[in-house]
Amino acid sequence: MDLKDVFAHVDHTLLRPVATWEEIRKICEEGLRYGMASVCIPPCFVKRAKESYPGLNVCTVIGFPLGYSTKECKVFEARQALDDGAGEIDMVVNLGDVKAGNFDRVTEEIRALKEEAGDRVLKVIIETCYLTEEEKIALCRCVTEGGADFIKTSTGFGTGGANMEDILLLKAHIGPGVRVKASGGIRSAKDILAYLEAGADRIGASGAIKAFENEKNAEEGGGY
């Protein structure tokens, strides 16, 4: 897989609470220059980013990062983001419902967000660091039955991020048509390539460009 193909699977991400427009503008320009799958940015920047870079695929987050806002609030957030020009939505599930075993409510919420998104991409963040294996498998069913396009490991704001064990588990239990996004703590070119080779279709990372630049600098007379 060459670097162009790798970056076509990366959501170039900046979700720090203190992010400024100048920083967002920089990753938007990088997203276009390197052919990233999308740039994933806070909702408040979506409209300006899309107006400034019409050809850019803009992703944003809903119910982020804790997931415990109401279904109605998440639907409203998603509607505004889509109206502002977002092409992809990454929503956080209600982890309280997960822990209570209320998986029908989780599925219902996902379905409501997918109905709002329509033909635009919906990714469901399940925050694997807080879950048992049984809960992860149950959420694979929720995401599949709710009609989402991706199941995503992490917000990057929890106690842990992506790991290979979770990628393989999710890949084994999602339904047809659902893809896996690995995100959270992914900082090396080696990890990005390993997750893609293991079956993740999308990578969420803020440092993918730097990771491959470091890889190139570390190799003598070759590499990326």
Q: C-alpha angle 123/126/128, rounded to 5°?
A: 135
Amino acid code (one letter) for 212: F
Estimate the crossing angle of helix 208-218 against helix 189-197, to 10 degrees: 110
Whether the ω angle into residue 17 lies within 30 degrees of 0, i.e. cis, is no
Amino acid code (one letter) for 100: A
What is the rounded CA–CA span in Å between residue 35 and residue 100? 41
What is the rounded CA–CA span in Å between residue 158 and residue 169? 19
Any idea which residues carry the catalytic annotation? 90, 152, 181
